[in-house]
Structure 1
Amino acid sequence: MEKTVLITGCSSGFGKLAAKKFQSEGWNVIATMRSPEKETELNKLDNIFVTALDVTSNESVKKAVSDGLDKFGKIDALVNNAGYGGHSFLEQFTEEQIYAMFETNVFGVMRVCREVLPHMRKQKSGSVINITSMAGYMGLTLTSTYSATKWAVEGLTESMAMEYKPFGINVKAIAPGAFGTNFVASSDNNFEGGDDEIQTASAKIGAHFMTVVQQMQEQSGQVADPQEVADKIYECVTEDMPVHNIVGADAEMLKGMIDSMPRQQFIDTLDEMLLPKD
């Protein structure tokens, strides 16, 4: 019997590439997104069921999972990819923006997991892959809220891996570095929030931050290809992989730094890298 994967956030980026990867490997794919009526590519491929799913809505999650099970009979893997970022100082985000990011990036992951896990327990097998970020390994300037959501999902994943192993369910996290997807365009930046002092500071640091990221990618000598993430997702579902996984030359460089020095030294090094000198 063919295996089936449910993937959230398939309208673009890692989600769409992962849907194509699984389909090309002979899997059935429940490709979910908030606006499936706008999709013009995945719905033309065999064995892909494109359907609506808004991770912030219990009703939407329940319907998508139910419709997917009706279509293919079971769910062997779940990929929690839906999410978005945002850059600003903590006080520049409104309370509504903070809650909204947690609602999608953290509670949305929990919501979909809680709907799918009972089915996996019943069949005594399954894989859950949570897409996080290198911001879930370290705090970065202008990413306090986003980092908080991704640290939460890294911790959630590690705990779930222990909780659900006895049921035959593997739970893993994948933390990409900086990749060229629509993620940046969909980020919720708010450099204009707050008073004049903090607006000036965030704009200046933000410009320097992006320059450093570009330099890191150039120094790595590799072009960041989002397909690497899609391939890693498939690998984590089909092979014996660790709970925590990183993808991208810049991510590997940063993880190497984290592992090679005391944490405070690493934080001080980031300060030197990411904060403008004048």
Structure 2
Amino acid sequence: MKAPSEVVLITGGSSGIGRCIGQHLKSVGYTVYGTARNPGKYKEFNDFPLLKLDVQNTDSVREAIAELLQREGKIDILINNAGVGITGPMEETPHNESLHAFETNLHGPLRIIREVLPHMRKQKKGFILNITSIAGYMGLPFRGIYSATKGALELVTEAYRMELKQFGVRMCSLAPGDYATNIVSGRYHSPIREDSPYRETYSHSLELIDRHVGEAKPPDAVARKVLQILKKSNPGVHYTVGSPLQRFSLTLKRLLPDKIYERLLLNHYKL
């Protein structure tokens, strides 16, 4: 008799990295569910079921988890993938937009983890994978808020891992580099103001950021890396996936003095 497949919940599964992960996991036998704030917008989406879930709304999170448990009776794997992009000079980024980014990229995963954990504890097993970003390992110019949200999720992962070890629930993070997704179209970016002291440098940096994403490869490598991680019986704390240059940048950050690494970033962004 065939054993029941593991049930995977992927937030933000309707497009981009989340959709690619879901397609790949489903192709190798996992039972996959994604989420979207408004599944009705994706009438032609048939890769896997989409549950209605807004990561900023606790009631919405609770209702989505309850629906999944009613359908499948368990949740084996949670992949916190939903997120938003944000760019702008730190000084000029509206505070409400900063709060929105943190609500989505940090507090959203925390809400879902809180709702899922009691069920995983009852099962005495579970796997939570937080999708962060290579940008979360450094404060990038004009992407400081985004870096901060993803960096915070990396640290939350470290703390949660140790607290959950006694329950048999595993957790780790995966930080992708730039991949070709629709994040640019949905990203908030502070307007380029004519009277801004950052007008020239921010404008050039924004063009560079958009070009990097536009030239990036599809996120298939992220999906393959996720599968590799899920198959590990004793996963590490942090994983990365990206171009050789992006991954090498993390090695340089660990090895180089802060000011030398800062100079490399200044040169890269032509600041």
Contact 1:79–1:131, Cα closer than 8 Å, also in 2 = yes
Between the aligned partners of 2:76 and 2:132, the Cα distance in structure 1 is 21
Contact 2:105–2:149, Cα closer than 8 Å, also in 1 = yes
Amino acid at match of 1:174: L
Which of 242, 248, 257 is the equivalent residue of 1:248?
A: 242
1:19 equivalent in alignment to 2:31:
no
Counterpart residue number, 2:230: 237
Equivalent runs, 1:147-162 vs 2, <5 Å: 147-162=147-162
Q: Among all aligned residue pairs of Structure 1 and Structure 2, give the percentage whose two residues are the same amino acid.
A: 35
Question: What's the CA shift string for 1:157-211, capped at 9, x where partnerless?
Answer: 1111111111111111111111111112211111335843233332133234556
Structure 2: which 5+ runs fail to align?
A: none
Counterpart residue number, 1:99: 99
| 1:173 partner SS | strand
1:227 equivalent in alignment to 2:225:
no
Amino acid at match of 2:238: H
Between the aligned partners of 2:27 and 2:78, the Cα distance in structure 1 is 17
1:266 equivalent in alignment to 2:264:
no
Provide the TM-score with structure 2 as the length reference: 0.91
Counterpart residue number, 1:86: 86
Between the aligned partners of 1:248 and 1:192, the Cα distance in structure 2 is 29
Provide the TM-score with structure 1 as the length reference: 0.89
Counterpart residue number, 1:175: 175
- Residue-pair matches, total: 266
Question: What's the CA shift string for 1:221-269, capped at 9, x where partnerless?
Answer: xx63301111212222222431101101132121232233223321222
Between the aligned partners of 1:214 and 1:21, the Cα distance in structure 2 is 22
The Cα shift of 1:120 comes to 0.5
Structure 1: which 5+ runs fail to align?
A: 218-222
Between the aligned partners of 2:208 and 2:36, the Cα distance in structure 1 is 34
The Cα shift of 1:41 comes to 5.1
- Greater shift, 79-88 or 188-197, is seen at 188-197
1:72 equivalent in alignment to 2:72:
yes
- Greater shift, 201-210 or 29-38, is seen at 201-210
Between the aligned partners of 1:138 and 1:53, the Cα distance in structure 2 is 30
Between the aligned partners of 1:252 and 1:49, the Cα distance in structure 2 is 33
Between the aligned partners of 1:132 and 1:268, the Cα distance in structure 2 is 25
- Greater shift, 180-189 or 260-269, is seen at 260-269
